[in-house]
Amino acid sequence: MEDLQSKLAALWADLLKSGTPDGAADFFECGGTSLTAVHLAALIQEQFQVSVDAVEVVTGRTLAVISGLVAERLAAVS
């Protein structure tokens, strides 16, 4: 999970042009918008081959929660 969160943090930082977030970082407090939430969801699909929609990014908000969603989806397809 740590490696997954690190990879997701790198995507997030690149997308938001910010420093690498920690697990408690809030997507919107780091500069995210609804449009960048859509973009992050697309990047997750591309990078991890699992679907997390923009609504889940918006409601999950933190890196830890979004990483957990991705981990659950990865486990479901394994």
CATH of the domain at 67: 1.10.1200.10
User: Could you tell me the residue range of the domain that residue 61 belongs to?
Assistant: 2-77
Contacts within 8 Å (CB) and 24+ apart, 69-78? 70/4, 70/8, 70/44, 71/1, 71/4, 73/48, 74/4, 74/48, 74/50, 77/49, 77/50
Per-residue confidence at 1, pLDDT binned at 50, 70, 90? low
Q: State what percent of residues in the chain have pLDDT above 90.
A: 96
Asked whether residue 20 carries a pLDDT value surpassing 80, the answer given is: yes
CA 51 to chain centroid, in Å, comes to 11
How many domains does the structure of the chain reveal? 1
Select the more confidently predicted residue: 36 or 2. 36
What is the model's pTM?
A: 0.92
Q: Render pLDDT for 25-47 as a digit per residue (tens, 0 to 9).
A: 999 999 999 999 999 999 999 99
